[in-house]
Structure formats: structure tokens, C-alpha cells
Amino acid sequence: MKEPRREKVLRRGSMQSNNIRWHMNNKLIRKLITLSLVIILAAIFGATTKSFYTLRNIQMLLREAAFVGLISLGVSFVVIGGAIDLSSGGIICFAGIVCARLAKLGTPAAVIILGAVLAGAVCGSLNGLCITKLKINDFITTLASGYIFSGLTLFLMFRDARGRIESPQIKNADFTFFGGHISGFYFISIAWLALAAVVWFVQTKTRFGLHTTAIGSSQKSAAMSGVPVDRLKLLSFVISGAFCGLAAAFTVAYQGTTYVNLGSGMGFQAVAACVIGGVVLGGGKGDAVGAVLGSVFLVLILNGIYKYGLSTAWQYFIQGAIILLAIFFDAVFGAIAAKRLEIKSQLDETGTKSREAGGHSNA
């Protein structure tokens, strides 16, 4: 009687091991597909435009990708956890005016950047509290709060003697230094890649990251396993807001000013970058590497539109089409992978039962 029980335990362990291996392989395949698309796009644009492979263009591509990428790193925590954050544009706008106000006061650069990050984190915490404590839908909450944060920005904007909004130049050299570069490579690009490595480690190697993925896979199962769902969801929105604040600080430092539509459309682009990189809407799949690849892919598309002299209307059309295609691909890819895993598990189970039957007959 002991032997069959032992075989049953071994079979369960084998099935769980197969499940883990399949998920790891699927994540790798998804990243390789996005990386291949990035390489193909770069090859096409490089062959059809004269200035694509210039060092200056590559540096600017990295800077633009870093702006989207920093935001998508924060948003990836929310999406992996099974929610969505559409308030990024409003948070960036609000954190930008906080930056500009502190800079005009002559505040030290470190304090200005910290102030922007804290402003973003506070906005994110408000989102998280509405979702976890008031139980308001995350889509509705973040969509509405994005408008609220943008409205608050208007109250704080600089105005001339007649009350008209203006965007004065920031002359705080210590702060604007962070908008600069080293040998053409911008500080925001360096910060983005460094933070991407940190975020990847947190999402894949720490309890917080693994629990966030578990929540996205099945919130009910995670809660039954003792995972503090509401606390981790709140923390995910705080992180998302903080990354928006950091992106705003680098952008205001680069431009030397801020304006009322700073960050406009960035909520959409950040989610798009995550989806393109394999961070699946609905949660449970994806990491920082996918968010990075998605950001590069998205910026390549926008850069190509600019290089070809196409209308900006194509930006919205192509971004929307890419998101739909990515979601459709993930659905099909996930269904195929799940079917293959089910078939393999059934074959393993059949083989195990056959061995058990053979062992009993020999006995």
C-alpha cells in the first residue's frame, strides 16, 4: 500500500515541475519574440532611412525609451498583480509641477527629485487606497484620478500678472544637470537600465514579486494561501506612482520647464509597452525585461513614423493596433501552451498508471 502512495506523490511533483518548466519556457519564448520584432524593426528602419543608425539617433531613442520605460517599470507591478493603472499621465503632470515649484525656490537637486518621487508615491497610494479600502474598480479609479491629478496641476501652474498660465525656464543648474548626459548618453537612460535590473530581481527573486504574480494569477488562491493581497496591491500602486514621479523629475530637468500637458498619453503608452513586452493584461505573467523590450519596440515604431514623415494620426492608430495584436497573440499563445501542458500531463499520468499496473501484475 505504501508504494502506490509514494508513486502518487512523485506523480504530483512531476506534474508541478512540468507546470513550472512550461511557464518558464513560455515567458522566454514571449521575450524572444518581442526581441526579434525589435531587431526586425531596427533592420528595416536602418535600411530605409539615412539617419537611423547614427549615434545621435540611438542616444535619443534610448532617452525616449527611458521615459516610457521608467513608467512601464512601475506600471508592470500593477499589471502583473492583475490590475491596471491609467493615471500615469496625470501623476507625471502633477509631479512635474512639484518639481518646477521646488526648483524655482532654489531647493537642492536631491530634494527636488525626492519631492517628485514622493508626490508620485502619494498619488499612487491614493489610487491604491480607493481600490483596496473603498473597493472601487481599478480601471475607473485610475481613469478618474488621472484627470484629478491633472486638474490639481492647473491650480499649481505658474501664472503671469494677468492670470495666464506660463512655463518659465528653470535656472537651478544643480537640478537641470540631471537632464543632461555623459558622452551623449542621458542620465535618464542610465537610471532606466539600472532600475530595470533592480525591478527584475524584485519581481522574480523576492517574496514580494512572487506574491504579486500569485495575486495576478488568482487573487482568491493567493488570499487563501495567506498572501496579504490588499497590502501588496497598495504597494504596487505606490511603486507605480513613484516611478512616474522619477520620470517626471528627469523630464523637467531635461526640458528646464514644465507645462500643463506634460505626460499626456503616457498612461496609455506605459500599459502598451507592458503588453507588447508580454506583461499580460489580467495579471500573473511578465517581468521588467518584457517591459523594457516593449518600451524599446514602441519607441522604435514612433521614431519610424517620424523618420518617414507620416502624420501623427498614425501614432495613435498603430499603437492601438499593436496592443490589440499583442493581446490577441497572448490569448492564442496562452491557449496553445495550456493545451500542450494538459496533453503532456495526461501522457505523464497515463505512463505512471501503466507502470503501477505493471508493478501490481508482477507482484
Domain ranges of the chain: 21-347
Reply yes or no on whether the pLDDT at 8 is more than 70: no
Question: What is the rounded average pLDDT of the residues 215-234?
Answer: 93
Enclosing H/E stretch for 186: strand 185-186
What is the chain's Cα-based Rg?
24
Cell numbers at residue 15, please? 506534474
Give the single-character DSSP code of 285: -
- pLDDT of 330-355, one tens digit each? 777 667 766 776 676 666 666 555 65
Please say whether the dihedral angle defined by the alpha carbons of residues 35, 41, 44 and 47, taken in this order, is positive or negative. Answer: negative
pLDDT the model gives residue 13: 45
Give the DSSP per-residue string, 148-181. Answer: HHHHHHHHHS-B-TTS-B--PPP--HHHHGGGSE
| Residue 60: C-alpha distances to residues 66, 67, 196 (Å) | 10, 11, 19
Contact (CB, 8 A) for 272 and 323: yes
165: which strand partners? 159
CATH fold of the domain at 21-347: ABC transporter involved in vitamin B12 uptake, BtuC (1.10.3470)
**For position 16, what pLDDT does the model report?**
44
- Is the pLDDT at 309 greater than 70? The verdict is yes
β-partners of residue 181 are 186
Q: For the segment 98-116, what is each residue's pLDDT rounded down to a tens digit? A: 999 999 888 999 999 999 9
User: In angstroms, rounded to a whole number, what is the distance separating the alpha carbons of residues 86 and 265?
Assistant: 9
Q: Which of 5, 19, 61 is nearest to 300 (CA)?
A: 61
pLDDT in the model for residue 83: 94
Question: Which triple of cell numbers denotes residue 248?
Answer: 517626471
Asked whether 328 and 321 are in contact (CB, 8 A), the reply is no
